[in-house]
Amino acid sequence: MLTSAPVPPPTVKPQQFQPLLSLTPNSTPLTVSDIPLGTTDTTTGSITQAGEQQKAAVEIRRVRPIVRSVKRKLSLLSIRTRPASLPLMTPSDLVLAKIGRHIVTTTSKQKLDLVFIIDASQSMKNDIESVRLHLTQMTDLLAENGIDFTVGIVAFRDHQGFSIVGWDFEITAQTRSILKIKKVLKKIRCRGSEKAKDALIQAANEVRFRPQAARRFILVTDEYATGEASTQQVLAVLNHKQISVDVLGRDEHFQRTLSRQCQGIWLPISNLRY
């Protein structure tokens, strides 16, 4: 009977692991600047010291930072806001709408005669055009509130040689046609200087108002008010004629006093330029 020789167990050779980075005791430690950036591959660098070259395997991995997503709430002015709930209005729209709202809340009568007292001096061309373009922001508001209103225009300028006495004063009679008023505003010639105080008194005496209608001026000027009349004389005439006055003008004592004493509001004319 044959017997097989015992099979010796397999010998396992111990595996030697080479450290990722081995340096001699006298070698200089690696710093951040020694590690190449911008790679995802395993690179092998060499460090030479005292005539000996040692290879160090340095594994560089790109670490992706963790960025938390933040959900922001929609602001009040958003493209998702419905146009009906947030109408888009320019400052020029707002300034005339504000005057219209003030008229609606302070006028006790259902009949209103509104007159624009417009400085037609040389620097007023753009401001007059802005009034023309945004006029309906005010007139539509008056109509929506059931006010029976008319609109007129007084354009004034002071220019030596432009007329016989150097003073030009044009009255456009009251009308319900907003289209006609816009055409008149477009044709106003701007030149010379102004005398707003004198224009207010002359307009109060010459404009023809409807019986039983509330009377209101809107002074539009980009200059400090001048003229032969004093502030007290202007206020006396306007109060006697029972004319309220709103002002789109300069920030000065006369214009602010005029609006305050004549039951109106003052707004800066610079709002018409945006």
Cα(152)–Cα(173) distance, integer angstroms: 5
* DSSP class per residue in 222-266: SS----SS-HHHHHHHHHHTTEEEEEEE-S-HHHHHHHHHTT--E
Beta bridge pairs of residue 214 = 112
Q: Are 274 and 92 in contact (CB under 8 A)?
A: yes
Check residue 66 and give its pLDDT: 63
Check residue 133 and give its pLDDT: 93
Check residue 94 and give its pLDDT: 87
Domain ranges of the chain: 95-103+110-273
Check residue 164 and give its pLDDT: 44
Topology adopted by domain 95-103+110-273: Rossmann fold (3.40.50)
Cα(234)–Cα(225) distance, integer angstroms: 11
Check residue 12 and give its pLDDT: 56
Closest CA to 157 of 190, 200, 115, 116: 190
Largest CA distance in the chain: 153
Mean pLDDT of residues grouped by 10 in the chain (274 residues)? 58 55 50 47 46 49 57 39 49 86 92 96 93 94 96 86 60 96 94 90 96 97 94 97 97 97 95 78
Cα(71)–Cα(10) distance, integer angstroms: 63
pTM above 0.75, yes or no: no
Cα(242)–Cα(228) distance, integer angstroms: 22
Q: β-pairing, 148-158 with 52-59?
A: unpaired
* DSSP class per residue in the chain: ---PPPPPPPP-PPPPPPPSS---TTSPPP-GGGS--S--SEEEEEEEETTEEEEEEEE--PPPPP----PPPPPSS-TTS-TTTS----HHHHHHHHHHHHHHHH--SSEEEEEEEEE-SGGGHHHHHHHHHHTHHHHHHHHHTT-EEEEEEEEEEE-BTTBTTSEEEEEEEEES-HHHHHHHHHHPPP-SB--HHHHHHHHHHH--PPTT-EEEEEEE-SS----SS-HHHHHHHHHHTTEEEEEEE-S-HHHHHHHHHTT--EEEGGGGG-
